Structure 1
Amino acid sequence: MSALRNQTIEHYSYPQAISKAAKSARGNVVLFLIPMVLIALAIAMKNIESGFAFLTAKPIVYANMLPVNFIDILFLPPVLFAVFNSYKAISNFIGGLKEQYPPTDRGENLLPAVKGTIQDVLSHIEFKKCGTNKSRNISHRLMMYGFIGLFITTNAVFVLHWLNEFGFDVQVTPLPFFHPVKILGNVSAFAAFAGIYLIVRDRVKNSATSILSLFDWMFIGNMFFTVVTGILCQVFRVGDHANLAFLTYYIHLVMV
């Protein structure tokens, strides 16, 4: 199933060069080097004149290393690229389904079909139906809902920042612990971490019967280190460990 899933992803993905690169060790090195170099250059351009003063400035503020404006410039093009690629991949997949199963008058209308699909994804009902994979329902839902929460948190911080830029009196990062956005972010991070931990535990436990490819492990690893570095960024910032905090934040940005 793992091999079949990976072949399906490669076949329908756009552009296929990226999915092919993600299947090999050399390709993954290249994919990681791109954000590593770009983010490092952005940090250098921002801080070289000040002698990287953010490392000794108190309190620790990650925006001193790389302001939100820089992050927006760096991340917005990849986000748009990913949205476009997702649209193309989904279109290719739907096109393939239409070839195998031509539309009929008995088929569902678009809105009911979309609604049913969303309900199935959010409930992971197929895992519940399968006795072998029933235990994976909880772990996958924890990870999924965790990342949905983190996505909402990220966009909420984005909105707060720009509201502040336009003169509105709103709290910006670093947010206090009991701020609703901070609470959502922390709860979501620990939910995602718990889900990934359970997924890895089950995979290792069933390694004799369930073989994962490099693609699978790289995907799981990327999710894991994204969450862990995000949590550690907060831990090191609160603990006032500047060097560890900024290094971890850099790694976190690369993983994202």
Structure 2
Amino acid sequence: MKKHKTLSAVILLLSVGLMVSACQFKRAAPKLEWDPSPEAQLIVVSDPIQFPGIKPTYQDESMENYIPEGILFGDGRILWVKYVYKDGITSRFMKQGFLSSEQIQALLQQFADSGFFSWKDQYSGSFIEDGPPAKSITVFLRDYSKSVVVSNAPPPQGFDELFSTIRSGAGVEDQDYRPDRAFLRAYRQFDQWGIDQASQIDSWPAESFGFSLAELESETGIAKGRYVDGKALAFVWQVINANPQQPLVEEEGVWYLLTLQITGLSN
């Protein structure tokens, strides 16, 4: 009886060991296969603290305009963000390019060789802030996904290099990115405290676009929003990117803060 119990214990330990080994192997060397569809995100790098419109509470409506620093899609399209500071204003420029399947495979191999898939999920310091993490990298493979978040702590070796590769477009030739369609909200600004009065505020051309911003408000004052494209979208896109910190327009003496949500890009 005692011998039987000992044998059972050994088998149990071996089983647990095999399960742990299999789990570690999966983390260290997943299959580098991905969904090649154009809407499937493959790699996303995010650093919300860099967004000019961010507020100390991270809860201002302008954060709806945040787009991660770099996104690679399954079909090879890569989009990334550039910020340019000039005359006291930080503007945003969106770029895009395309990678071949071979380039994507080489990029994923770079992630694997760096040890990315065996890194911890979270690297945090002793001081934890409320709000978004400092930096994160997420990879969505066909059968496996992995996120690494770094917050107030040194990143693992190789993290910054991988992050920079995606946020700079992975070396592809760039072109300007403009969305074809997006969801617009307009938030009435009742309190103008903190708004730079010297900034140029554009007027909303309601007659040209066929709707007023006041129409986007519900009876409770909550911004309902609507999908826009064409001239209206181009106008809002320019306003937001010119000054993400204060994406404002004026309509009949009322100021509105504009936001756009873009499918596949916005959080």
Q: TM-score under structure 1 normalisation? A: 0.22
Q: Higher Cα Rg: structure 1 or 2?
A: 2
More strand by share: 2
More helix by share: 1
